[in-house]
Structure 1
Amino acid sequence: MSNTLSKYLNILTYVMIGLTAIFVAMFYLGGDLPNQTYQTPVYTDVLIHWAKALFFVCAGLSLLFPIIELVSNPKGAVKGLAGLVGLGVIIFIGYSLSDGTLLDLPGYTGPDNTPGTLQFADTVLYTMYILGIGTVAAIVATEVLRRFR
């Protein structure tokens, strides 16, 4: 990355951190709306809209930079695509292990005891288990291999 671009990105980072600090201070120190059932800060909407803006900017840049990298370095993109395919296989394995059987919850009448919701939750849990075990195995394997070098 060029020094000029790096300089501008650093300035942009400090500006965004400063704006975030200002919005958080406004939220906590700006007072409350009158005649509300619950304590409601005046600047809640401002902080929420700022958080949404940061999220969308971050999501957009997270998609844009890999595309730029793909165009500028197609050979390096193969490794990234291999990682995405591997992650897809792990998620598929988690989905295959998941179960959508309804739970017997006496007294529960909420909308979340559905096969789709339960299967999604199981998929996320199994995927996290697989990734966690893989992480620990990679750490142990790296340390063991380092001892033999």
Structure 2
Amino acid sequence: MDITDISLYLSYVLVLVGIILAVVMPLIKSLDDPKSLGKTLAAVVGLVIIFFIAYSISDGDVLPKFAAEPFNLTETSSKLVGGALMTVYVLFFIALAGIVVTEITKAVK
């Protein structure tokens, strides 16, 4: 093992610790105020609904060159990727609309 392998494994561990802390710490903090869990749950349900709609809209077409080695894409995996991409697009436009509305309301005040 050289320094590159050690650095990669260390970065994997640090990313995992960061993910765990990013999920667990807000949950611990929200135990003080249970009403905040409702907002979090509403946001998660909203994301799931947006993904479900995007997954339903996306097509599962796979070109023959991607169905073979080394990709081995199936119709289901193609729909998942399409749904994820459409979800990102929808969330991007929601964020962009939020920025525009915020700037307009700040300009009007």
2:5 is aligned with what amino acid?
Answer: D
Counterpart CA distance in 1 for 2:27 and 2:18 is 14
Quick one: structure 1 residues 71 and 113, their matched pair in 2 at CA, closer, same or farther if it must change by over 3 Å?
A: same
CA contact (8 A) 1:69 1:77 kept: no
Q: Which residue is equivalent to 1:82?
A: 42
Match of residue 98 from structure 1: 58
Q: Structure 1 stretches of 5 or more lacking a match?
A: 1-40
Q: Counterpart in 1 of 2:72?
A: 112
Could you list the per-position Cα deviations for residues 91-139 of structure 1 after superposition, in whole angstroms to 9, with x for gaps in the alignment? Answer: 1121111111222439x54333311221121011101110111111111
Distance across 2 between alignment mates of 1:128 and 1:76: 25
Identical positions, percent? 31
- Secondary structure of the 1:100 match is coil
State the TM-score, normalized to the length of structure 2: 0.84
Q: Select which of 84, 87, 94 maps to 1:124.
A: 84
Q: Does 1:67 align with 2:38?
A: no
What secondary structure does 2:31 align onto? helix
Partner of 2:8: 48
**Counterpart for residue 103 of structure 2:** 143
Q: Which residue of structure 1 lines up, in the alignment, with residue 18 of structure 2? A: 58
State the superposition RMSD in angstroms: 2.0
What is the TM-score normalised by the length of structure 1? 0.64
For residues 25-62 of structure 1, what are the alpha-carbon distances to aligned partners after superposition, in whole Å with 9 as ceiling and x for unaligned? xxxxxxxxxxxxxxxx8212211221121022112212
Which structure has more helix as a fraction of its residues?
Answer: 2
Matched residue of 1:105: which SS?
Answer: helix
Structure number with greater CO (CA < 8 Å, separation at least 6) is 2
Contact 1:91/1:127 (CA < 8 Å) preserved in 2? yes
Poorly superposed stretches of 4+, deviation over 3 Å: none
Aligned residues: 108
